[in-house]
Chains A and B, each alone.
Chain A
Amino acid sequence: MLLELSGISKHFGGIVAVKDIGFGVKEGSILALIGPNGAGKTTLFNIITGALPPEAGSVTINGREIVGLKPFEIASAGITRTFQNLQLFGSMTVLENVMAGAYLRSKKGFVRSFLSFPGTCREEKKIREESLILLEEIGLAETAGLPATQLPFGKQRLLEIARALASRPALVLLDEPAAGLNPSETEALTDYLKKLKTKGTAMILIEHDMQTVMEAADRIVVLNFGQMIAEGTPAEIQAHPEVIKAYLGEDEKIA
C-alpha cells in the first residue's frame, strides 16, 4: 500500500467530522471518496495533507507516519492536492503557477537565487520545459502566458490539477475536479486521470459526478456522517444496500 489510513477521528465541537476511518490506496490506483455533502470527505483531505490534526489514528505513506508533519513536509513526502474552492496563485501566469507547483523539483535557496542569473540556470530550464509539457498534456498550453485569474472556471480547475502534478507526487488528492466542467470537459478529464494512473500516479478523488467515479475509480470508499459505510470496487458499491440507502436514497439504481 502507498497510503494507509487507520482509525482516523476528528470532531468539530460536538459534531463528528470523521470517525474511525481506515483504508488504503495502492500505488498507481484511483480511489474515489464519495458521500453526501458534509460526510467528511474534505476533512479527510485536510487531515492527510496536514492542514488539520486528527484526534486519533495514523496516516502512513510508504510505511512512514505523516500525522504531525507540516503540510510542506507532507508535500515533499509525495502528496499534493487540489482545492474545492480554488486556491490558484491569481496574479501569476498559468505557466508560473505550474512552475511554482514544481518547487520541490529544484533546490536553489534564497541566497543562491539572489546570486545567480536565472538565464544560466539549468534547473530553471528543466522546470520550464517540464511545466510546458504538463500544460500541453492537460490542454492549457496556449494559455501559458495568461494570468491565472483570466482563465474560465473549468480551466482554472485543470490548472490546479497541473500545479498539483508538477512536483511529480506519488499521490494526488483531487477535491471535486469535475465540478463546474461541462460534459465534454468532464470526459476529457476522466480520460486524463486514467492516463495519469497508467503512468503510476495514485489518486484519491472526491467527486459527485457518478459517471466519472464509476469509470475512473479502482476502489470506492463511501462516507456518511463521518462514518465509513462501505468500501469496494465500483461494481460492489453499486450493489451495496447501505450505499444505495444512505447516499442515493432508497429504491434507486446507480446509472
Chain B
Amino acid sequence: MHLKNHKGLILLLFLLVIPLKIDSNYLYSTLVIIAIYSIVVQGLGILMGYAGQVSFGHAAFFGLGGYTAAILTTRFQWPTLLALLAAAILPGIIAAIIGRQTLKLRELYLALATLGFGILVHIIFNEGGELTGGPSGMSGIPNLTIGIISFDNDQKFYLLVWFMLLLILVGIYNLVHSRTGRALCSIRESEYAAENAGVDCARLKLQAFIFSALLAGLAGGLYAFYVSFISPSPFSFHTSVQFVLMAVIGGLGTFWGPLLGAVVVVSLNELLREIVPLLIPGAGGEYQIIIYGIILVGLMIFQPKGLSSIGRYFRLPLKKELKPEG
C-alpha cells in the first residue's frame, strides 16, 4: 500500500475531524445519514459501475438489514453487535437466492425484476403484522453496543459509521485495483470477451450482487440502531431510486463517486428544505421536489459522467478510475 495512492483517504480523515470541533447534533445526524447511504451506494457502485448491472431494489436490502436488526434485538433480545452482523448477512443470503435467476436478465429487464423485488419486500414490511409492526413500524431498538462502548449519542455514532465507511473505502480500493476489479470491468465492457478470458461472468456478477446486498444490509442495521425506530416508509421504491441517483450523480465506475453522490443528494435535500421556504414564502414540499429535479437534470446534462469528473477542473484526485499501480 503506497501512501500516495491514498491522498484522498488521508484528506478525508482530516475533514472528518472538523465536525468534532463544531459539535452540532444536526451536523452529526446529517453526516451519519450521509455515511449510511454512502455505504449502500458503495456496494451499488460496484454492482452498477464495475459489473454493469443495475438494481432498483436496494432499498429492500437496506430495509431487510434494518428490520433484521430491529426484530432480533427487540423481539428476540439478541446482542446488538450480533444483530448487526445478521443484518448484513441475511440480505446477502436473499441476494444469493434471487440473484441466481434475476442476473440472467439484462438491462431494463434486470431493472424491472429488482424493482419488483423491492416493491414486494416493501409490502411485506407493511403487512408483516406482529413481526414487523405493520405500517406504524417498531420502536425501542436498543443502542448499538460493541464491547464496552455503547453508541448512545450522535457524536459516537458519527465516529462509528465514518470509521466503518473508511474501512469499506479501503476494501473497495483494493477490490477495484485487483484481478477481480479488472474482471468486473471486463464484464461491463464485453461479457463475451470476458468469458473468453476465463471469467465466470454469471458467478462474478452474483458475487457483486451479494456484496452490494451485504453492504446495504449493514447500512440498514446501522440505520435501525441510529434512529432506534423503524417503519416501512424509508425503504420504499423512492429510496431505491435515490440510491441509484447517488451512484450515477457521483460517477459510475469511479472511486469517490458513491461518497460524493451521497454527500450531494443528502445535502441538496437538506439545503432545499431550508432555502426554498425563504425564497418562495409559503412554498410546500412540491416546490422542493421541482427544484431538486431541475438541479439533478442539470447535473446530468452538464456532468453526465458524474460529479467525480469535476475534479479535473480543480486538479483534484477525485476521478480515481481503475488505474494501474505505478
The reply to whether B182 and A70 form a contact with Cβ atoms under 8 Å apart is: no
Which residues from B are CB-within-8-Å of A230? none
Contact partner of A92 (CB less than 8 A), chosen from B174, B204, B322, is B322
Task: Bin chain B's interface residue count.
Answer: 35 or more
CB distance from B177 to the nearest CB of A (A): 4
CB neighbors of A among B190-228 (8 A): 190, 192-201, 204, 207-208, 211
* CB neighbors of B among A38-78 (8 A): 49, 51, 70-72, 75-76
Whether A99 pairs with B182 at a CB distance below 8 angstroms is yes
Q: How far is the CB of A92 from chain B (nearest CB, A)?
A: 6
A113 to B173, alpha carbons, bound, how many Å? 9
Residue A232 interfacial (CB < 8 Å): no
Query: Which A residues lie within 8 Å of B204 (CB)?
Result: 110
A200 at the interface (CB under 8 A from B): no
| Cβ-neighbour of B192 out of A87, A103, A120, A164 (below 8 A) | A87
Query: A119–B178 contact, CB under 8 A?
Result: no
Q: In this assembly, does B183 line the interface, its C-beta being within 8 Å of a C-beta of chain A?
A: yes
| Complex-state Cα separation, A121 to B324, whole angstroms | 13
Q: How far is the CA of A113 from the CA of B46 in the complex (A)?
A: 13
A240 at the interface (CB under 8 A from B): no
**Does any Cβ of B come within 8 Å of A167's Cβ?**
yes
A71 to B200, CA, bound (A): 8
- CB of B312 within 8 A of chain A? no
Contacting pair A108 B198 (CB below 8 A):
no
Residues on A with C-beta less than 8 A from B193 are 83, 87-89, 163
Q: Which of B180, B185, B188, B253 contacts A108 (CB 8 A)?
A: B180
Decide: A114 near B197, CB < 8 A? Known: A91-B185, A92-B185, A120-B1. Answer: no
Q: Collect the chain A residues with CB atoms within 8 Å of residue B325's CB.
A: 118-119, 124, 128
The reply to whether the CB of A143 lies closer than 8 angstroms to some CB of chain B is no
The answer to whether A99 and B324 touch across the interface, beta carbons within 8 angstroms, is yes
Tell me whether chain B's interface is mostly helix, strand or loop, or mixed.
helix
Whether the Cβ atoms of A49 and B179 lie closer than 8 Å is no
Number of cross-chain contacts by CB at 8 Å: 125
Task: Report B-chain residues with C-beta under 8 Å of the C-beta of A81.
Answer: 196
Contact pick for A123, options B179, B185, B199, B322, CB 8 Å: B179
Residues of B within 8 A of A76 (CB): 198
A80 within 8 A of B: yes
Interface residue? B189 (CB, 8 A): yes
Q: Which of A70, A100, A113, A123 contacts B197 (CB 8 A)?
A: A100
Given A80-B196, A114-B175, A115-B174, A100-B183 contact (CB < 8 Å): yes
Quick one: closest B residue to A110, CB to CB?
B207
Q: How far is the CA of A93 from the CA of B188 in the complex (A)?
A: 14
State the 6 A-B residue pairs at the shortest beta-carbon distance, nearest first. A113-B178, A75-B198, A89-B189, A71-B195, A87-B193, A113-B180
Query: Would you list 30 pairs from A and B whose C-beta atoms are within 8 A, ordered by A residue?
Result: A49-B196, A71-B192, A72-B198, A72-B200, A75-B198, A80-B196, A80-B198, A81-B196, A83-B193, A88-B193, A89-B190, A92-B182, A96-B324, A99-B182, A99-B324, A103-B186, A103-B199, A108-B178, A109-B180, A110-B204, A110-B208, A117-B1, A118-B178, A119-B1, A119-B5, A120-B1, A121-B178, A145-B324, A164-B196, A167-B197
